């Protein structure tokens, strides 16, 4: 997700470039399995404005049953990137003074969308992912997945202070 934008930085304000993003990811530390969508880059006064709508496909882990399930989401991204070097002169450019850290184009005029897209993916994920709204989760006693079959263990959770009274009831 690296784009060389040296030529676009030399063009007049309003110049446009369009790309097609298609990425597949492997490995344990990935935020998604695949993503695709159109990317539009527009030359603006202070840098490059990137607009994209990305379809993200990934596998999440259900917070109740710990099963993996596929999910798809759509991210609408609009970010402005600022060059670190002037493409005409090669002089270092001043960075905007904003409250948050600015997205930068490196000294080789390469715009990297990886970090921004990962931030959007992470903030778009549910805090408590569920494979199904009616997910029954795991048995607290034996750990069996109750979506697949009912467990045969005694799944009675009782406050230990009431156990003596329950034993008296069983004796009678």
The reported pLDDT for the residue numbered 93 is 75
Residue 149, CA distances (Å) to 135, 137, 145 in order: 12, 11, 7
**Domain boundaries along the sequence of the chain:** 2-135, 138-172
Which pLDDT belongs to residue 46? Answer: 87
State pLDDT tens for residues 120-159.
999 999 999 999 999 999 988 788 899 998 887 765 666 7
CB 105 within 8 A of CB 83: yes
Which helix H or strand E contains 73, and what residues bound it? strand 68-83
Looking at residue 92, its pLDDT comes to 80
What's the pTM value of the predicted model, to 2 decimals? 0.74
Mean pLDDT estimate for the chain: 87
Could you report the per-residue pLDDT of 35-51, keeping only the tens digit for each?
A: 999 999 999 998 999 99
Share of the chain above pLDDT 90, in %: 55
């Amino acid at each position: 997700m690296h784009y060389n934008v040296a030529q676009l930085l030399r063009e007049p304000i309003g110049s446009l470039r369009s790309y097609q993003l298609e990425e597949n990811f492997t490995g344990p530390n990935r935020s998604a399995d695949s993503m695709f969508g159109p990317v539009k880059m527009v030359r603006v006064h202070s840098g490059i404005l990137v607009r994209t709508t990305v379809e993200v496909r990934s596998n999440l882990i259900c917070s109740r049953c710990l099963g993996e399930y596929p999910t798809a989401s759509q991210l609408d991204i609009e970010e402005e990137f600022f060059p670190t070097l002037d493409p005409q002169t090669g002089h270092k450019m001043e960075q905007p003074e904003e409250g948050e850290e600015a997205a930068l184009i490196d000294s080789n005029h390469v715009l990297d969308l990886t970090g921004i897209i990962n931030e959007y993916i992470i903030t778009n994920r549910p805090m408590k992912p569920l494979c199904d709204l009616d997910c029954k989760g795991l048995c607290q006693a034996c750990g069996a997945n109750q979506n697949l079959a009912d467990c045969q263990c005694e799944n009675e959770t009782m406050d230990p202070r009431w156990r003596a009274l329950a034993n008296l009831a069983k004796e009678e």
